[in-house]
Amino acid sequence: MDALTLISQDHSNLWRLAATVDQVAGEIEAGAPVEQPFFNAVFDYIEQFVDRSHHPKEDDFLFRLLRLRSLEANAVLDSLQIEHRDGPAKLTTLRNKVTQASTGQLSGGQLATELRNYTAGLKSHIRTEEKDILPLARTVLLEADWAEINRAFLDNADPLFGDKAKEEFRQLFHRIVSLAPESVGLGGSSAGTLQPLPERSKAEVQLRVEGMESCYGRIKALKGISLEVRRGETVALVGANGAGKTTFLRTLSGVQPMSAGSIHFKGQDISKMRSDKRMRLGICQSPEGRQVFGPLSIEDNLRLGAYTQPRDQVDGDMEKIFTMFPILKEKRALPAGTLSGGQQQMLAIGRALMGRPTLLLLDEPSMGLAPLLVEEVFNVIRMLKSKGMTILLVEQNAFAALAIADRGYVLETGNVTITGTGQELISNEQVRAAYLGM
């Protein structure tokens, strides 16, 4: 772990927090009550973590050294530092607005605007640091600079930044999670209104897997997995490397043989069905590691995803994908290999969507992506979820996956060990210790 990784992780958390506040702002605008404890938790976190710790640390070390090494950085750093300086006052103003709104002195719509202004500032600040400052720091700072920065950021005894402080920040963050409105969980977005949970838990079971086993030669990779997914649910499957997550998805879509157990989909026993038939039924997978066809154009990659579909709907569906991912439209004629990692991930998801899934399987969609791209991919998943898509999400990024999932399953060496709602798993001690690094 180095300072840069740490800073990027902080940014990713803050970004998620900002997206959450945006979503709550939307709900307040639509008439939801102002939950003051939730906002207090968010503001406490920003005050203690961002304003008192993260920003001063950047000012004193990263920014100071960057100014020494690069004259061109000065203007950007000046404006970032002004934002650092003004942060606490802005937060105080916002706290007052929330109080005013909860006592009826300010309308929900007015508060929503204030909240959005604030998060827009926060996001643009993070974006500038991620896109301009950190890359510049990587190129111009000397080894000795990094040693100094890392020492400062990784000092476990530092009262502002060390282990004790980190524990407090975690507690604060966890408080936000537990106080966040249920419809949001952590990491909401403005992508759409989520269906309320109770409705979904009453929806019919769409997928039921019982006692699934699968082997590689003599090694049993899945040792009897049982799991169900209801219509409209987002279910997360998390677990360490080699737990069997990918094997599970591949067995489900029929490309990996199942040696025992059963799979029912929409009431039908599909245990012995060929994979292309399963795809026709609507089980479509975006595979691990993206696996787009590099030499083929983006358009042709999308067409491949629709090979089980009637021809006359393909062009229309492709336009829908292009609306969802405008960058793909821009580059539609180019080889897929020219896309960035994040864009290829969008393409892989788009290709799965071309099969008109009724159950979308996503295998580690955030793998290998920079924090802001991870956020973009998760925004897409949230948007699909808000439209009612049934999703089975496999992730190494357990926190993010559980935060948007209705329910989750923890997989350990071929067995499901813990299951519960996304929020339950996030607060589960065992899960936190093993997968969330907390």
Ligand X SMILES: Nc1ncnc2c1ncn2[C@@H]1O[C@H](COP(=O)(O)OP(=O)(O)OP(=O)(O)O)[C@@H](O)[C@H]1O
Residue range at the interface with Mg ion (CB under 5 A); choices 74-82, 197-205, 282-290, 398-406: 282-290
What is the distance between the alpha carbons of residues 54 and 259, in angstroms, rounded to a whole number?
Answer: 52
Residue 170, number of CB atoms within 10 A of its CB: 15
Task: Name the amino acid, one letter, at 386.
Answer: S
| Shorter beta-carbon distance to ligand X: residue 187 or 244 | 244
Which of 245, 278, 331, 351 touches ligand X by CB under 6 A? 245
What six digits make up the tokens of 282?
């609507």
| Shorter beta-carbon distance to ligand X: residue 239 or 422 | 239
Asked if residue 162 binds ligand X (CB under 6 A), the reply is no
Asked if residue 246 binds Mg ion (CB under 5 A), the reply is yes
Site string for Mg ion, 288-317 (x = CB under 5 A): x-----------------------------
**268-269 and 219-230 strand pairing:** unpaired
Report in angstroms how near the CB of residue 341 gets to ligand X at its nearest.
16
Report in angstroms how near the CB of residue 241 gets to Mg ion at its nearest.
8
Residue range at the interface with ligand X (CB under 6 A); choices 66-74, 234-242, 353-361, 424-432: 234-242
Contact indicator for 393, 381 with CB cutoff of 8 Å? yes
What is the distance between the alpha carbons of residues 119 and 54, in angstroms, rounded to a whole number?
Answer: 17
What is the distance between the alpha carbons of residues 48 and 361, in angstroms, rounded to a whole number?
Answer: 39
Residue 306, number of CB atoms within 10 A of its CB: 20
Report in angstroms how near the CB of residue 241 gets to ligand X at its nearest.
4
Report long-range pairs for 51-56 (Cβ below 8 Å, ≥24 apart). 51/84, 51/87, 51/88, 51/91, 52/160, 53/160, 53/161, 53/165, 53/169, 54/7, 54/10, 55/84, 55/87, 56/84, 56/160
Stretch 381-420 residues interacting with Mg ion (CB under 5 A):
none
∠ CA 75-78-84, nearest 5°, is: 150
Report in angstroms how near the CB of residue 216 gets to ligand X at its nearest.
3
What is the distance between the alpha carbons of residues 80 and 232, in angstroms, rounded to a whole number?
Answer: 42
Asked if residue 218 binds ligand X (CB under 6 A), the reply is no
Asked if residue 285 binds ligand X (CB under 6 A), the reply is no
- DSSP SS3 for 204: coil
- Partner whose binding site includes residue 243, from Mg ion, ligand X, none (CB under 5 to 8 Å by kind): ligand X
- Partner whose binding site includes residue 247, from Mg ion, ligand X, none (CB under 5 to 8 Å by kind): ligand X
What is the distance between the alpha carbons of residues 327 and 340, in angstroms, rounded to a whole number?
Answer: 11
Asked if residue 244 binds ligand X (CB under 6 A), the reply is yes
203 - beta bridge partners?
none
- DSSP SS3 for 239: coil
Contact indicator for 380, 400 with CB cutoff of 8 Å? no
Report in angstroms how near the CB of residue 381 gets to Mg ion at its nearest.
17
Report in angstroms how near the CB of residue 248 gets to ligand X at its nearest.
7
Asked if residue 369 binds ligand X (CB under 6 A), the reply is no
Contact indicator for 313, 353 with CB cutoff of 8 Å? no
- Partner whose binding site includes residue 242, from ligand X, Mg ion, none (CB under 5 to 8 Å by kind): ligand X
Asked if residue 285 binds Mg ion (CB under 5 A), the reply is no
Report in angstroms how near the CB of residue 415 gets to ligand X at its nearest.
12
Asked if residue 396 binds ligand X (CB under 6 A), the reply is yes
- Partner whose binding site includes residue 221, from Mg ion, ligand X, none (CB under 5 to 8 Å by kind): ligand X
Asked if residue 253 binds Mg ion (CB under 5 A), the reply is no
Report in angstroms how near the CB of residue 247 gets to Mg ion at its nearest.
8
Asked if residue 241 binds ligand X (CB under 6 A), the reply is yes
Contact indicator for 134, 62 with CB cutoff of 8 Å? no
Report in angstroms how near the CB of residue 256 gets to Mg ion at its nearest.
12
- Cα dist from 270 to 68, 192, 264, 280, 283, whole Å: 65, 33, 6, 12, 11
Residues that bind ligand X (CB under 6 A): 216, 219, 221, 239, 241-247, 288, 396
Residues that bind Mg ion (CB under 5 A): 245-246, 288
